[in-house]
Structure 1
Amino acid sequence: MPGVVLYMDPINETYVSWPGLVVVDIATADDATAFAFQQLLADRWTTAPALHAMRDAGEPGVRLRCFLDLRQPLDS
């Protein structure tokens, strides 16, 4: 089944190698909620967004991971 994963990849040291870099794992009931929350983060900070949500086999809901750089806030 496409999009089914048994686990989320561990956080790599590269993701958080400098102060201000953040890994955000989002778990929600549905894709729309996950992407809406990701968009709220992207509206505030420089973000490397997830392109698709993952489903854990046999588990309810979806997960996605995005990366934020809090050192570079977007202009209002």
Structure 2
Amino acid sequence: MEAINEVHVSEPGLVVVDVAATDDETAVAFHTALAAPWATTSVEHTTRDPGQPGVRLRCYLDLRQPLNAPAQAPILR
């Protein structure tokens, strides 16, 4: 993964999420769960590190912009 750019975390509520998963479907499902309650960047593809198992995905969240009322937000465990 590339280094985190300061602009992505320049204010409280901005989050960089790096996901490591077994496969593309799992990584994208996790991103979809994050995108339900919060504003996120879109994800077009996952990446693979040569010689390493699984896939990686990076997205950016803005927790200051909830898309659903807090009572409706899913609980991730």
Q: TM-score, normalised by structure 2?
A: 0.86
**Structure 1 residues without counterparts, runs of 5 or longer:** 1-7
The whole-number CA distance in structure 2 between the counterparts of 1:32 and 1:42 is 15
Instruction: Determine the C-alpha separation between the residues in 2 that align with 1:10 and 1:75.
Output: 31
The structure with more strand, counted as a fraction of residues: 1
What TM-score do the two structures reach when normalised by structure 1? 0.87
List alignment gaps of at least 5 residues for structure 2. 70-77
Deviation at 1:57, TM superposition (A): 0.5
Aligned length: 69
Deviations 1:16-67 (A, max 9, x none): 0010000000000000000000000000100002210000001000000000
CA distance in structure 2 between the partners assigned to 1:55 and 1:63 by the alignment: 6
One-letter amino acid of the structure 2 residue matched with residue 71 of structure 1: R
* 2:59 corresponds to 1:71: no
Whether the aligned pair in 1 keeps the contact of 2:38 and 2:68 (CA below 8 Å) is no
Q: Counterpart of 2:39 in 1: which secondary structure?
A: strand
RMSD: 0.8
Percent identical pairs in the alignment equals 61
Q: 2:42 is aligned with what amino acid?
A: P
Give distance in 1, aligned partners of 2:19 and 2:56. Answer: 5
Q: Which residue of 2 aligns with 1:49?
A: 42
